[in-house]
Structure 1
Amino acid sequence: MLHFLSEQSSVTLWMIFLAENVVITIIAIAAGSYVIKRHQKHKPVASKREIVFCIVTNLLNTAITYAGFRLWQHGYIEFSFDINWCTLTDFLLLFMAMDLAMYLFHYGIHRTIAYRYIHQLHHAYTNPTPIDLFVLHPLETLGFGALWLAMLYVYSFNFAAVLIYLTVNVVYGITGHLGIEPFPARWRNKPLLKYLGTSTFHHRHHSDIHCNFGFYTNIWDKLFKTYKP
């Protein structure tokens, strides 16, 4: 796939990456809306403001994808392509490393002036809906993108592990912005599962900005004493 992309022009690459991001966004919003409709019998309606920021986020994510591809082409980012045990270990490493990095980034935003001028936009939605996953200040989108590219730069991950991680990332994003909890408590309290970030976990963060800064797990919040159940 990467070698096919290498043969394309810059304009074609931009169009491919834009289409990829738009499709992911549509799937995320549609899947999240479907879950909400099943639980609450109504479909969330996005405002014009949310739609505009969603479009801007897609354009910036396209730019980040393009930058990552060019960094790979020039050897700054490297991948392994064999499907073996490294696929699982690399996924787990990437999952936990990004969870920690995003926790620190997220916590830092909340503890500095960046919250007022950048992140407060996202927190305007105390009862988020799926589209709010993509309602971010442009600087915040670029910040998360830079964090992602830096992670790929410092370690050569298995490419399949990266694809799995990106899929899981979207699923978490949808779940965290449902505004409802689709999973019963008996599931959330099982071993291992109780350490994962849930819709309830992230919804609490939207209603109380002083807690629950994690994304995929609540481990770092519990470790650094920012967790509230």
Structure 2
Amino acid sequence: MIQITGPATFWLTALLFFLAVFGRYVLFSLAFWWLFRVSMKDQFAHRAVQMRPRKAGQDWREIGWSLLTSLIFTAIAMAVIMAYQAGYTRIYTDFRTYPIWWYPISVAVVLFFHETYYYWLHRWMHRPGVYRWVHKTHHDSITTSAWTSFSFHPLESTLQAIVIPALTFVIPLHISAVGLILLIMTVSSAINHLNTEIYPRDFNQHWLGRWLIGATHHSLHHTQFRFNYGLYFTFWDKWMKTESPDFHRLFAEKTSSAPDKKT
């Protein structure tokens, strides 16, 4: 963990974190865009979820909001670093501090709490009195892409960003586990907003796949609004009966081997 010893170190660390956060977003968004829109366009063309055409300038608008999101994520990360140096968090750097079996369990526990927090936050953000002030910016992207993954109003960015840092105060986490969780968050968000289903046929019925959110699942949230509130996993949507009744049909159509099949 970086030690901040003065203003110069603080601002250098903040710059490095911002470049890491925003750079990670740009890297994965570009990679998914190139892979499924350029390199493998013909193979995956029939898997794109048919929605409204993307608006002119939508990519740049989403990148602009994502830039603000990255600044907010950086500010909160700096607060966690300062708290760590003061001894307030439970982040550790020596693998011998806890048994090795705790490492995967700690990651799973954080992902579960993050999923739970986000699901109920997401439903709250869809309340009429809240939606226009907090969540509408993200839903302006009706037809999503990987660039949409960080496109939030600053209020939503802040609400989304506080949960994992808060958990570092109560759950022992190796510093690399924190990095792994943030990487999972970025990759999952890019996949979910890709608007092209990348998972294989019948994966929605697989023992693992049935619990994972992908592009088809999340695209239905952007078009139907009342369903599919999850972040990484589908279990809250299944338990609360908020999974779209159209999901399995649409997933089957998008992963059909027939490239000319339409929805």
TM-score scaled by structure 1? 0.90
- What whole-Å deviation, never above 9, does each CA across 1:66-105 have from its counterpart, x for those lacking one? 1111121122212233171111111111111111111111
- What whole-Å deviation, never above 9, does each CA across 1:33-91 have from its counterpart, x for those lacking one? 1233145469x975432232122112112112111111211222122331711111111
Tell me which residue corresponds to 1:17: 17
Q: For structure 1, which segment, 71-80 or 175-184, has the greater mean C-alpha deviation from structure 2 after superposition? A: 71-80
Q: Percent identity?
A: 23
Retained in 1: the 8 A contact 2:59–2:147?
no
- Classify the secondary structure of the residue corresponding to 1:113: helix
Q: What are structure 1's unaligned runs of at least 5 residues? A: none
- Classify the secondary structure of the residue corresponding to 1:203: helix
Matches within 5 A, 1:120-159: 120-159=136-175
Give the counterpart letter for 1:64 in structure 2. I
- What whole-Å deviation, never above 9, does each CA across 1:4-57 have from its counterpart, x for those lacking one? 443571111111111111221221211221233145469x97543223212211
Matches within 5 A, 1:1-229: 2=1, 4-7=2-5, 9-37=9-37, 38-40=39-41, 46-81=58-93, 82=95, 84-228=100-244, 229=247
CA drift of 1:202 comes to 0.8
Report the Cα distance in structure 2 between the residues aligned to 1:130 and 1:203, rounded to whole angstroms: 12
Q: For structure 1, which segment, 119-128 or 186-195, has the greater mean C-alpha deviation from structure 2 after superposition? A: 186-195
Give the counterpart letter for 2:126 in structure 1. H
Retained in 2: the 8 A contact 1:214–1:220?
yes
Retained in 1: the 8 A contact 2:14–2:74?
yes
CA drift of 1:203 comes to 0.9
Report the Cα distance in structure 2 between the residues aligned to 1:158 and 1:47, rounded to whole angstroms: 36
> What number of residue pairs does the alignment pair up?
226
Give the counterpart letter for 1:115 in structure 2. Y
CA drift of 1:151 comes to 1.9
CA drift of 1:159 comes to 2.6
Retained in 2: the 8 A contact 1:90–1:157?
yes
Report the Cα distance in structure 1 between the residues aligned to 2:80 and 2:32, rounded to whole angstroms: 28
Q: What are structure 2's unaligned runs of at least 5 residues? A: 46-53, 248-263
Report the Cα distance in structure 1 between the residues aligned to 2:191 and 2:162, rounded to whole angstroms: 24
Retained in 2: the 8 A contact 1:87–1:160?
no
Retained in 2: the 8 A contact 1:46–1:131?
no
Divergent runs of 4+, >4 A? none
Report the Cα distance in structure 2 between the residues aligned to 1:39 and 1:207, rounded to whole angstroms: 25
- Classify the secondary structure of the residue corresponding to 2:162: helix
CA drift of 1:164 comes to 1.7
Retained in 1: the 8 A contact 2:103–2:174?
yes
TM-score scaled by structure 2? 0.79
Give the counterpart letter for 2:36 in structure 1. I
Aligned CA-pair RMSD: 2.0
Retained in 2: the 8 A contact 1:5–1:13?
no
Retained in 2: the 8 A contact 1:17–1:62?
yes
CA drift of 1:209 comes to 0.7
Q: Higher Cα Rg: structure 1 or 2? A: 2
Retained in 1: the 8 A contact 2:145–2:195?
yes
